[in-house]
Amino acid sequence: MLNLSHLTSYLTCPRLSYYRIRNKEESFTELQAVREVYISFRRGFDLNWAEKRIEILHNFDAEVFKKAVDKMIFNRKALDDLRSIDWDVPVRSEKFGISFTIDELVEKDGVAPLYVALKAPEKDVWFKDAIKIAAACICCNYSFGFVYYAYSGELRICKLNFGLKRSFLKLLERVKMLENGFLPEKKEGEYCKICKYKEICSSQPETFASKFL
């Protein structure tokens, strides 16, 4: 079964998604750190509790944790209007063959999913965050969602519309093709510098079929 990170990885590089589908082991990220701190603070717990959550749920890395905490802003004012209903909500959709976790379910003019992210774009939300909201809305029947950008303490709304539904389905179809074994094209860029699949990637040439993914 796919998970949402396979879809968002595809946007960074299709091959990264291909390798992540086949390799479950991933290192601890700033986003995971920020997400656990957010969940803890929203429930009235402190950083120590967030650290405990991380030790249980992830491969704790003190350096990554500190980096994330130093940059994070917990903006109570921006979040005050949102009534927290649930958090860390697992979703498994047999219909779409995808599973993921909603960071928080909140209520404001209706129930909506909320995701925590790092840096905000100038306006609206990043496409990868819109895809996460789309997945939650389509699989769980919501019509809008929120993204909390933790490095600036901003809350942004994202509404599900026809274009977003179509983008989500197209991306899901592309990633399902990778799941079925198609090796996609490389999308070389900044991420290659830190990509843990660099070696295997350079040893696997592109094929004619990979051009169509």
Residue ranges that bind ligand SF4, judged by CB under 6 A: 13, 15-16, 186-188, 191-192, 195, 197-198, 201
Phi, psi (rounded to 5 degrees) for 190: -50, -40
What's the rounded Cα separation, in Å, for the pair 72 and 164? 29
User: Nearest distance from residue 105's CB to ligand SF4, in Å?
Assistant: 33
User: Nearest distance from residue 15's CB to ligand SF4, in Å?
Assistant: 4
Nearer to ligand SF4, 15 or 53 (CB): 15
| Opening angle at CA 143, ends 139 and 145, nearest 5 | 90
Nearer to ligand SF4, 155 or 201 (CB): 201
Nearer to ligand SF4, 7 or 195 (CB): 195
The DSSP string of 45-67 is --HHHHHHHHHHHS---HHHHHH
User: Nearest distance from residue 201's CB to ligand SF4, in Å?
Assistant: 3
User: Nearest distance from residue 193's CB to ligand SF4, in Å?
Assistant: 9
Joined tokens for residue 84: 């927290």
Helices (H) and strands (E) in the chain, counts: 9, 6
